[in-house]
Structures are given as C-alpha cells and as structure tokens.
Structure 1
Amino acid sequence: MSAPASRPTLVRQAAVFDGTRLHPARDVLIEGPLITAVGDALPLPEGAHVVDGTGRTLLPGLIDAHTHATDAGQLRQSLLFGVTTELDMGGAPATARRLRAAAGGRDDLADLRVATTGATAPGGHPHQLVETGLLEPFPTVARWQDTDAFVAARVAEGADHLKIFIEDGTAIGHPMPLMSAQTVTALVRAAHERGLRTVAHTLTRTAARQAIDCGIDGLAHAPADGHSSDDLIEAAAAHGVFVVPTLTALTGMTPTPAEYALADDPRLRPYADPRWLDELDRIRTTDPAQRVGPISMDPAHAADAALRMFRLGVPLLAGTDGTGGMGHPTTHGISYHGELALLVAAGLTPAQVLTAATAAPADAFALADRGRIAPGLRADLLLVEGDPTHDITALRAVTHLWRRGVPVDRPALATTGAGAAEIRS
C-alpha cells in the first residue's frame, strides 16, 4: 500500500526524461504532492529523504490513453506497473463516477478520467456485448437531431470526454448499424460546445476517414483492416487529430498475443494479477481459431498507419484498450509495457514512445498538471534502472514510484486485494 508523504524527498543525480527529452544527471525535489525544484546540486531541505538516482532514470508517471475500468483492482494493477493515470473510453456511468472519485482520494490507485456512455446507433457497437450480458443496456443516438440532448446527458452523468463509435462490424465479423456522418459531425459539435474532447472508435480505414472528416479530435484505434492510403494518412495530419494505436489489443486478437512474453518477464511477473495469469494460461491452451473468431484485422496495418501518421506530425498516444473479462488477454498495467514495446517494434524510437506515454496524452486531454517533470506539476513519478530512451524495457525495472508525491510500496501493494471489490457496479 502507499503511505502518506510526511517529509520532502530529494532524488539525487538521476537522468531525467521530462516528457519530451532526456537530461543528464540532475536533482528533483518532491514536497507534498508536487515537484518543487529541478536542477543541479539542489540544497537538501531539513528532514528530507534522499533517493540515489545514480545509473537510473526518473520519468513522469505513465498515462494509458485507452482503457475500460470496471473495478478499483484494475486501477491498482495499473499503478503497480507505473501507470499513474488512465483515460477510460467508455463504461457504466455510476461505476465510472465511483472509480474516479476513489482514484481522486486514494494514492494506491491510478488516477482516472472517464467517458461514461459512448455514442452509437441503436443496435450499434458495442450493443452485441449487451446481448451476451457483458454490458447493461445503454442510451443510443437515432438521429442527428438527438445529439445535443445525448451529449448534455453525458455531461450530466460526469463525462470528461466523449467516445463515439464508428463501427459497422465488418472487421470483427458482426455487421451492425452505423450512425450517419451528419450525426457524428453533430455529436462532435455538441461535445466541443461543452468543452469535451472527442475520441472515435475506428478499426477500419473507412471509419477513420469518416471520423477525421467529421472533426473528431482523436482516433481510439489505428485502422487495421488493410494498408492505409496516403490520402488517409495526410488527412489525419491536416486535420490535427491524434491516434491511439492500441497495438496490444489488436495482437490480443491474434493467435500469439504479445501478453505471453510479458507474463514471462521476471521484472513484471511478480506484480501481475494472479487471475490474469490464470486466464492467460487458459488462452494459451485454447485453439486460436476458436478463440479469435472471424476477425479481419492485422496489427501490422495499424502499426504502419500509426507510424506514417506520426511521421507527418500526428500526435501518437500510448493506450492498451485494457479491459479484463472481455475474452482477450489485454489488461490493465502489465499490457501497457507490451504496447510500448510494440510501438518501438513499429519504428518509433524509445524516446518517442516515452513521449507517447507521458507528455502527448497529457497534452491531448488537457491534463496540464502531469505528463512532464517540472516545478509545480504533480509528483506522479517513476524511477527505473538504466536508460529507457535506449531500451524501452528498462521501464519494467522500477525501483521507486510516487503517486502525488506519496511513495508506493509495490511489493505490499501487489499482495493486497484491497480496493478490488469494494468499488464495483
């Protein structure tokens, strides 16, 4: 569990990745919930605790830009792996509010921002999950004339941003109704009028282009149904959208999920949820054809599209689509490290991926108090052995972790189930 920060902490002589670039060894002072000084040979405040950063790198807490949280145990798992903020992309409003409130008052959970109910057509995605009992029935948008009232209801139920589903089901083998472009445009306009950013669920090239043309702020997935044309890539750059590739979720739908390697990494396995490890063992022994189903998506297409967008200036945000309990192995916390490795494999440098994990999502969602290391910002920080700007997997070797300046005892937190059950829908 985490413990109250009772005295200042001075991290001495750590390399500092500030959210956009790496600085040579310097000192960082934490007082209360904030970073109060960054520099060389900082004076030691009376009674301060000193942490030796020699040979280590200090980074902002990681931000997962695409999750679906249903209980506090998932937020605890995220924090264990250095993810100090989750951006939830849709779920039951009452659960979202309770989890966000819990995360706001506790330092043994990752912080949370929520989308509540996503916008979709009657019978549209993810209505199929209602049919299987995984989701409760939710309101939908039948006409463009209904959009203002729909968005107003989302604001009333506490949404921090708006999720819009543009999904005809062809990529997942389940055709379903789709909202019109006029309706999507009206939703974006209504959300912007209320100060909400908009994020579109788009798995196909057609859906991505529609979202871009309708004025969306970001793509919750990179298109994975085929090779994206230069016109699509250039449109994303011209319209100033951001993209969350969610490569680990897409590989989770393939016969060999990226999570297999994560579960076997000795830096990660001791902190993994035992229930997730059991589920992964079950998945390993399941016939891939039976488990995956009629999916017509390829993570390589998504990786290629995201990389080409990034090279034209599109902000790239690291996100997992971590759920838990939805039939694929992508989960909270540990899967994030798989996403970062997949982004490096796609062609980004480790330093670029670190920005995608920190400053870029903070900027995209106007979280001005985090995502960087600078005086006055939240002391959401992790200290790791080595240099993750050269080897992204160095992020897995966490030596110290702070959430709002509170030191997190990872071994103790990993052995407790507190929080996993007391806040559920």
Structure 2
Amino acid sequence: MTVTVIHSVELFDGHKARSGAVVVFDSDSGKITSVSTGSSSDQYPQGATIIDGTGHTLLPGLIESHMHCYNLHLTPGSDESTILTSPLKSGITTVCDMHSDLASVQKWRKAIAEEVAQARQAGGTVTLSDLKTSLYGATIEGGWPKPIVLAGHPSEEAIEMVKQWPSLTPETAADYVKNHKANGANYIKLMQENCCSLAIPTNSIPVASLELQTAVVNAAHENGLPCVGHALSSDMTEIVLKAGADGLTHTFVDQPLPQNILDLYKKTGAFVIPTLTVLASLTAELQDWRERFADLAHKKGVVDDATKQNMVEVLGMKDPAAKLEYAIDTVAKLKKEGIDIVAGTDAVAGLKGTGVGPSLWMELELYTEKCGFTVTEALNSATAVTAKRFGFTDRGEVAEGKRADLVLVKGNVTERLQNLWEGEGIVGVWKEGLKAS
C-alpha cells in the first residue's frame, strides 16, 4: 500500500474551510483514510510519502458538470486526448458528458480503466479525468441539437452521427432509458429547444412536447437515474421544470427571470447548471475574459495552440434580444433564493469560446465576480453540491472513505479564488489516490 500524507494544509472539504488539516490517503484503495487536524509526525503511517502543505490549499477534485466528450468539432489531426487530459491538468477529476455516442464513451472509459490499472500495478501516474455520461440525449426527429452540430460545413462523420440519434416518442421513452442505463448512463438528458434565443428562426425545428419530457423523466426516476434538461429560453425552461426534471443544464438568455420560473424552481427543488461561459460565447460578450483564461491556460501547458485559439473565438449566434446579463442576473437571483447552482460550462473540444478544463476556471470566477457568490460557495458548486445533486456519493468531498480525488494549490484558494489558476496555481492533482502527471 502506497500511503500519502498531506499535513499543515488549508483544507476546503467541499463545504467549508479549515486550517492545519492532515489528510491521509492510499493509492491501492484510492480512498481517503483519515482527515484530521494537528496530528504529529510520529502518528503518520510508516513508509508514507509526506507532503508539507504549509502555504497551500487542498480541495476535492473539481467536477465539470456539463461538457461533451466527442471529437467531432476538432480539426483533422488534432490531439483528441486533450478532451480528458486538459481537465485533469485544470484540477477537474470528473467530467460529466451531456450528449455523446456510446462508442466515444466506451473508448474513453476503457482508456481510463486501463490507465488506472497500469498506474496501480507499476506505480505510475494518470493523465485522464474520470467520465460520467448521459450518452445520447432524449432527442426527437430533426430536433435539437441538430442545428448546432450540423452548422457551417459539417463533416460526413457528424452527418452520420446525427442519423444515429434517438427519435423518441412517449411510447418509446421507457425503453430508451432502460437501454441507456444498461449501457452505463449515469443520468438522462432532455433536449428542449425552440431556438427563440438563437439566430435561428423560432420553431424552425421540431420541439419536444411536455408529454414526451414527462415520460422520459418518469422513466429515468423509475430506473434510479437523475434527469436534467437543456433549455436556452424561459418558455422551454418551464416545460423542463413542469416535466419534473432534477435540473437544467443551462440558464436562459432571452429575458429576465420571470416569477413563474422562480416559483417552479422553488416548487420542484431543481438545480441549474448556468454554463455562463458558453452563453458568453453565444452572445459574443466578455471577450477580454476569454482571452485572459486562454492565455493563462496556454502558458501553464494546460491547452495547446489550437485550443487557445478556439477559446478566444465566439459562437456569436444569439437572437438580437438575447443578453448574457439576463443569465447572470437569473443565476444571482436563483442562488439568493436557495436554488442549487452546479458549476458547468458546456465546453466541447473545438466548440468556439470554450476549452474543456480551463473554461471551468472562468465559470467559477463569473460566479464570484458577477453573481454574488463567495469563494467557498463557488467551490462548493464544483464539488460537494454537484456530487450530491447527481448522486455521486463517492466524491466531491474530502472526507474519510471518499475517493482520493484531490487538488493541491499554492496559496489560500478559499480567500482568493484566482490562486487556483494564477501564480504557481495547481501544484498537485490525485485521482483515486494516483498522482496525475
């Protein structure tokens, strides 16, 4: 058993901060064996690797709750391994895919499992974040996200992929969910979009009905799976909430928060993944933010040249009335009303304005700088609250018995969030107790 002890560290355990903590974990079980304060060195396990955490903060591995693991937006010859290596370098030990094909998911999960097994056997390191997934979302014939995936000059691969998407009806919802669960889906995703927030004519694509979405949600819950839903407008959000979904995978940009939507959030207890990062790309706002985080990530070796360039470009495909301000104000008001905010970006390799990994840094800073979050509230949205709302009971906290998914950062992150990416930033990442390279 290879035991590691990190002592004298500022600890954010997923909920709150405490000073002078001692965290012990081992790479064989991949678990945290103890969390305490003030232990003396003569109490440390014999033969353990000892790390002095003075002047550092230890966090749970961050969870990116909205990304996509497919490679269809990448240019030919691009390094697709960055889809899971960049987030791990960013302190993200778990990514949540929100609409990808089974083959891509299986490929990544095989690579993840083989890497962990080899690292345990040979005492090596890991490079890939863990992967959770919805597999394909609950699509309908011709519906969302066909317009975005086939925008511009789609590849033959993208065209063929769209042909494989589900074409659900209320009658087929139960089988869809059952098959997804059998294939390893961790949650189910709805698609509810009429394009009214986009530079695409409203109702120019088929729109899912409340009857269908309710059938999918009920089937998901009957199978013990959370169910979340895409919506970029308030009217589509209303349908997802009325269907009984556990959360929204975006907030909306078409108007300020209406009272009926706030009431539905409070009535249903649903959470929201704001994805302000991708919404800023959609509305072509916050260019200085994109440039700053792209430059930071590139200088730290987190992203390559192509990803840096992609991060500073924009989707720029909003309806003229849509504003990022509406989304920011909605998140601030929902948070103030006690609605759970779960951190996620909708980053996709090759999707303009995003970079899987460092986009979450930008997302968290938007919460603290624009939405009224404290630093610990922002960190909580990417750790314990995400794990709780998705039912990931083994991670998201630094506590005895949890996965040893840990991030060590120079400086006090709970006092200054930017320490996570500025200066020395992240100096160590462990996934299941295994050091990341």
TM-score by length of 2: 0.86
Task: For 1:141-160, list aligned pairs within 5 A.
Answer: 141-160=167-186
SS at match of 2:348: coil
Residue identity matched to 1:47: G
Q: Are 2:23 and 2:32, in contact at CA under 8 Å, matched by a contact in 1?
A: yes
Hey, what does 1:357 align to over in structure 2? 382
The runs of at least 4 aligned residues of structure 1 exceeding 6 Å deviation read none
Q: Are 1:243 and 1:315, in contact at CA under 8 Å, matched by a contact in 2?
A: yes
Instruction: Say if 1:243 and 1:268 are closer, same or farther in 2 by CA, change over 3 A.
Output: farther
Q: CA deviation at 1:338?
A: 0.6
SS at match of 2:58: strand
- Report the Cα distance in structure 1 between the residues aligned to 2:178 and 2:362, rounded to whole angstroms: 37
Hey, what does 1:423 align to over in structure 2? none
- Report the Cα distance in structure 1 between the residues aligned to 2:26 and 2:285, rounded to whole angstroms: 48
Q: CA deviation at 1:255?
A: 4.5
- Report the Cα distance in structure 2 between the residues aligned to 1:240 and 1:354, rounded to whole angstroms: 21
Q: CA deviation at 1:274?
A: 2.4
Q: Are 1:30 and 1:405, in contact at CA under 8 Å, matched by a contact in 2?
A: yes
Listed as ranges, the gaps of 5+ residues in structure 2 are 71-79, 116-125
Residue identity matched to 2:35: V
SS at match of 1:260: helix
Which of 347, 361, 364 does residue 322 from structure 1 map onto? Answer: 347
Residue identity matched to 2:296: D
Q: Does 1:179 align with 2:202?
A: no
Deviating more after overlay: 134-143 vs 361-370:
134-143
Q: Does 1:44 align with 2:44?
A: yes
Hey, what does 1:376 align to over in structure 2? 401
Q: CA deviation at 1:72?
A: 3.7
Q: CA deviation at 1:280?
A: 4.3
Q: Does 1:28 align with 2:54?
A: no
Cα deviation, 1:210-244, whole Å, max 9, x if unaligned, reads 11111001100012111011221121022010110
- Report the Cα distance in structure 2 between the residues aligned to 1:15 and 1:280, rounded to whole angstroms: 32
TM-score by length of 1: 0.88
SS at match of 1:271: coil
Q: Does 1:213 align with 2:213?
A: no
- Report the Cα distance in structure 1 between the residues aligned to 2:101 and 2:150, rounded to whole angstroms: 12
Q: Are 1:234 and 1:309, in contact at CA under 8 Å, matched by a contact in 2?
A: no
Instruction: Say if 1:313 and 1:268 are closer, same or farther in 2 by CA, change over 3 A.
Output: farther
Deviating more after overlay: 252-261 vs 49-58:
252-261
Deviating more after overlay: 387-396 vs 271-280:
271-280
Instruction: Say if 1:298 and 1:116 are closer, same or farther in 2 by CA, change over 3 A.
Output: same
Deviating more after overlay: 257-266 vs 43-52:
257-266
**Share of identical aligned residues, percent?**
30
Hey, what does 2:294 align to over in structure 1? 263
Task: For 1:245-264, list aligned pairs within 5 A.
Answer: 245-253=274-282, 254-257=284-287, 258-264=289-295
Cα deviation, 1:61-116, whole Å, max 9, x if unaligned, reads 00000010124431111001100000110111111122123223423200001111
- Report the Cα distance in structure 1 between the residues aligned to 2:406 and 2:243, rounded to whole angstroms: 37
Q: Are 2:297 and 2:303, in contact at CA under 8 Å, matched by a contact in 1?
A: no
Cα deviation, 1:377-421, whole Å, max 9, x if unaligned, reads 111101112222221111121122111111223xxxxxxxxxxxx
Hey, what does 1:95 align to over in structure 2? 104
Cα deviation, 1:17-65, whole Å, max 9, x if unaligned, reads 0101001111111122111111123312111111111111111000000
- Report the Cα distance in structure 2 between the residues aligned to 1:163 and 1:142, rounded to whole angstroms: 12
Which of 104, 107, 114 does residue 113 from structure 2 map onto? Answer: 104
Q: CA deviation at 1:156?
A: 3.5
Residue identity matched to 1:89: M
Task: For 1:108-119, list aligned pairs within 5 A.
Answer: 108-119=127-138
Listed as ranges, the gaps of 5+ residues in structure 1 are 1-5, 410-425
Hey, what does 2:266 align to over in structure 1? 237
Instruction: Say if 1:69 and 1:266 are closer, same or farther in 2 by CA, change over 3 A.
Output: closer
Paired residues in the alignment total: 396
Q: What's the RMSD between the two structures over aligned residues?
A: 1.9
Hey, what does 2:85 align to over in structure 1? 76
